[in-house]
Amino acid sequence: MRTLRAMAMQKIFAREILDSRGNPTVEVDLHTAKGRFRAAVPSGASTGIYEALELRDGDKARYLGKGVLKAVEHINKTLGPALLEKKLSVVDQEKVDKFMIELDGTENKSKFGANAILGVSLAVCKAGAAEKGVPLYRHIADLAGNPNLVLPVPAFNVINGGSHAGNKLAMQEFMILPVGASSFKEAMRIGAEVYHHLKGVIKAKYGKDATNVGDEGGFAPNILENNEALELLKTAIQAAGYPDKVVIGMDVAASEFYRNGKYDLDFKSPDDPARHITGEKLGELYKSFIKNYPELTRPNHMLSLLRCKLAQSNGWGVMVSHRSGETEDTFIADLVVGLCTGQIKTGAPCRSERLAKYNQLMRIEEALGDKAIFAGRKFRNPQAK
């Protein structure tokens, strides 16, 4: 039995680093007797109204107001010292997280910032795995009460629109999911092949400039009609030879083009209320997508392990997701395997901050060997009987 002293945190230090979009974010180093454990926090371009608050400095003289020195200071001067004084064990994730949330005392974590609390929480989780002498994904599975480990179906965001790209597409993410693959490694190969075929299809139709990529590695052709993007995916899937193995998914992010009770599907152009459509009309558009394409959706931000388990217990599909502003941290790769959600969204098979997660998943599958379970067509609820 290891002593509490051995499992305790010895030092917590935070710093400001840059994410994949050149914006500041929080990185945390946590030290225990086992060594140093580092975690970096991602940041989204589009955020829901119920998301926890990401604390930014607001000082326009630094990084256009997007600095995170306040969040860093909260860790170095308040959260870190309080945790060290409390002498909590790094293997007791729930107690650590509860302590930080109670210390913050706000509903949306606005006192310290969700980016401060999350950075420390991720580092603690990594330290907890090391203390137990198990891989991070196994530690997460233990925390979630999952005896099994499931490799997810990747949802590759291969056409970017909305707030992720400079084109006219209103809807944010157009994805391909290789649900018919037999393993995660094969799913990666299929996804990469469709991605390269898609590049050829876009180049042939719109020219070489149209194959520039957005924040998440997907292509951002300057098209307006969302069904045109879906047609491009359909053509690329056919060209790659995988019509029976790949389905299409979308993350619409409709809150980004919501305007005074209606929706503007050309919101990147000068505002014209005459073209805004009602929620009913938008619903009809969704129905047309579902009718014409093998269309899928995803639940929005769950924010916590408790909410994830609650959703799964009620038969909901849960997707582990990156953010548009990412780092080289691969935590969510281990997270998705441990939580057994069966699906992950972390960009296109392009850009190293996206591939870092996918490559880590291939390593995990390799390490599991014959014990590796790939979600495949059961990706919505891979543990269902």
SS (H, E, C) 127-157: HHHHHHCCCHHHHHHHHHCCCCCEECEECEE
Cα distance between residue 239 and residue 227, in whole Å: 18
Does any domain span residue 256? yes
Range of the domain at 73: 4-133
Burial of 39 (0-12, 13-18, 19+ CB in 10 A): buried
Q: What is the pLDDT of residue 255?
A: 87
For the chain, the straight-line distance linking the first and the last C-alpha, in angstroms and rounded, comes to: 37
For the chain, the three-class secondary structure string (H helix, E strand, C coil) is: CCCHHHHECCEEEEEEEECCCCCEEEEEEEEECCEEEEEECCECCCCCCCCCCCCCCCCCCCHHHCCCHHHHHHHHHHHHHHHHHHCCECCCHHHHHHHHHHHHCCCCCCCCCHHHHHHHHHHHHHHHHHHHCCCHHHHHHHHHCCCCCEECEECEEEEECHHHCCCCCCCCEEEEECCCCCCHHHHHHHHHHHHHHHHHHHHHHHCHHHHCECCCCCECCCCCCHHHHHHHHHHHHHHHCCCCCCEEEEECCHHHHEECCEECCCCCCCCCHHHCECHHHHHHHHHHHHHHCCEECCCCCCCCHHHHHHHHHCCCCCCEECCCECCCCCHHHHHHHHHCCCEEECCCCCCHHHHHHHHHHHHHHHHHHHHCEECHHHCCCCCCC
Question: Would 138 be classed as within a structural domain?
Answer: no
Whole-number Å distance between alpha carbons of 328 and 351: 10
Q: Are residues 24 and 157 located together in one domain of the fold?
A: no
> Could you tell me which of 242, 282, 250 has the C-alpha nearest to residue 264?
282
Check whether residue 363 and residue 295 sit in a common domain. Answer: yes
Task: List all residues 6 or more positions away from 237 whose beta carbon is below 8 Å from its beta carbon.
Answer: 176, 194, 197, 243, 246, 248
- In terms of domains, do 267 and 366 share one? yes
In this structure, the answer to whether residues 125 and 163 fall within a common structural domain is no
Q: Show pLDDT as tens, one digit a residue, over the chain (385 residues).
A: 455 565 789 999 999 999 999 999 999 999 999 999 999 999 875 555 556 789 999 999 999 999 999 999 999 999 999 999 999 999 999 999 999 999 999 999 999 999 999 999 999 999 999 999 999 999 999 999 999 999 999 999 999 888 767 788 889 899 999 999 999 999 999 999 999 999 999 999 999 889 988 888 999 998 888 899 999 999 999 999 999 999 999 988 888 899 989 998 888 888 888 899 999 999 999 988 988 886 565 545 545 666 776 777 777 778 888 887 899 999 999 999 999 999 999 999 999 999 999 999 999 999 999 999 999 999 988 887 6
- Please check whether residues 169 and 250 belong to one and the same domain: yes
Number of domains in the chain: 2
Question: What does the pLDDT read at residue 299?
Answer: 45
Let me know whether 191 and 102 are in one domain. no
Does residue 214 lie in a domain region? yes
**Does 140 fall in a domain?**
no
27-38 residue pLDDT tens: 999 999 999 999
Domain boundary among 133, 163, 182: 133
Q: What is the CATH number of the domain that holds 306?
A: 3.20.20.120
Q: Note whether residue 141 is domain-resident.
A: no
> What CATH number should be reported for the domain holding residue 80?
3.30.390.10
Does residue 59 have a known ligand-binding role? no
Residue 21: the pLDDT is: 94
- pTM summary value: 0.91
Domain end position, chosen among 133, 159, 193: 133
Question: Distance between CA atoms of 185 and 158, rounded to whole angstroms?
Answer: 18
Q: Are residues 71 and 177 both part of a single domain?
A: no
> Are 109 and 192 in a shared domain?
no
